[in-house]
Amino acid sequence: MEPLNEFLNTELVTLGKTTITPMTLVVVILVLIASVILARLARGAIGRLGHKFGDDRQGLVYVIQRLGYYVVLIIGVFTGLSLVGIDISTFSVFAGALGVGIGLGLQGMVKEFVSGMALMLDRSLRVGDFVELENGLAGEVVDIGTRATRIVTNDNIDILVPNSTFIEGQLTNWTHDGATRRIHIPFGVAYGSDKELVRKAALEAAANVPFTQPDEGNRKSQVWLTGFGDSALEFELVVWPSLDAAKRPSAMQAAYNWAIEDALRKYEIEIPFPQRDLHLRSFFETKEGEAIKTLGLKKPRATKASKTSKGSKSNDAAEAVMAPEETVRETADTPQGPEAGGGQGAHKK
């Protein structure tokens, strides 16, 4: 035992009036280990307690967990140093050197740490939110760390995004306030199609998709005629899906496209192929009609428009414009969205 005591009390270095020995290092290490264990226990206890407050409070619980973890660790470090009689002021020289190191090589790490703290305290981004970045990356936030935020895409791919990216760039948060979003599903039909029948088919398709929200006030499924393309009348099915569906934009659009195709096929509405009209001006100096006759071709018949009721009353786009404005979120009609041909009402920062 005597050799062991001599080894543990061997002087390694002197900081001010405090002598550092192997025993001192052992005590500091044990205190740090105990601090880490206590910090993890505190984080787990806060998490279990947070489940009693419901899902809407989980973002705040997560912030308290992370801050509490760091606070316990910092207290543990200072406690360990105090137990061995080390005066914190003796580290002023090392603090100065650390400051120079941060200024030269660690500024990026400090920047990400501060950005992470800002995100947790600001609560504009919370665990469980479905977000889209400027570069088109979209996924669910599963962890906000000290250096990076982990996002999981719908293909179950984990992507680490530096925290400063959310602070400095534009961010679309599709689930910020827990409300559903409006999306636009474009489709086209042949010229001459009955607009009322197209509208009926599209609304029926929307109703057959299980995650379409029921009509309520200004939030209702609509069909808009948005343009006249080279080969088709261009429509948009405007719907309000559930919040869970908004987190899966690609699958959501595929589901609506499938339902629309089924409905158009049911009502025998033609989905046109790209078309080009060829006008034969001359054939060996032969006029158009004579040239067609010489080639043994038949002159194409003009497409007859289907008979529709006069004075169509079902103009959803006009109704949307004239509807009373309850909220900007419900009446703005600019198409936007991660992959669904446009979303409505997403929170941007």
Phi and psi at 235, nearest 5°, equal -115, 165
Q: How far apart (Å, rounded) are the C-alpha atoms in residues 230 and 121?
A: 52
Contacts of 23 (CB under 8 A, 6+ apart): 8, 9
Q: Where in the chain is the domain with CATH 2.30.30.60?
A: 130-173
The confidence score (pLDDT) of residue 257 equals 92
End-to-end CA distance of the chain: 65
Q: Where in the chain is the domain with CATH 1.10.287?
A: 2-122
8 Å CB contact between 272 and 189: yes
Q: How far apart (Å, rounded) are the C-alpha atoms in residues 281 and 296?
A: 16
Q: How far apart (Å, rounded) are the C-alpha atoms in residues 125 and 16?
A: 46
Residue range 2-122, CATH number: 1.10.287
Q: How far apart (Å, rounded) are the C-alpha atoms in residues 327 and 60?
A: 27
What are the tokens at 193? 């199609």
**Could you say which architecture CATH assigns to the domain 182-348?**
2-Layer Sandwich (3.30)
Residue range 130-173, CATH number: 2.30.30.60
Q: How far apart (Å, rounded) are the C-alpha atoms in residues 342 and 184?
A: 5
What are the tokens at 109? 């790490």
Q: Where in the chain is the domain with CATH 3.30.70.100?
A: 182-348
- Quote the Cα angle for 254-175-182, to 5°: 50
8 Å CB contact between 147 and 109: yes
Per-position pLDDT tens, the chain of length 349: 566 666 666 666 666 566 677 777 777 788 888 888 888 888 777 777 766 665 555 656 666 777 777 788 878 877 777 776 666 665 666 666 666 665 666 677 778 877 877 787 777 788 888 888 888 888 989 888 878 889 998 888 999 999 888 888 888 888 777 677 888 999 999 999 999 999 999 999 999 998 898 888 888 899 999 999 888 999 999 999 988 888 888 888 899 999 999 999 999 999 888 777 666 555 455 555 665 666 666 665 554 544 544 445 556 655 655 555 454 344 444 444 444 444 444 555 5
What are the tokens at 121? 């305290």
Q: How far apart (Å, rounded) are the C-alpha atoms in residues 206 and 253?
A: 11
Rg (CA), the chain: 33
The confidence score (pLDDT) of residue 343 equals 44
Q: How far apart (Å, rounded) are the C-alpha atoms in residues 329 and 182?
A: 9
Q: How far apart (Å, rounded) are the C-alpha atoms in residues 29 and 80?
A: 8
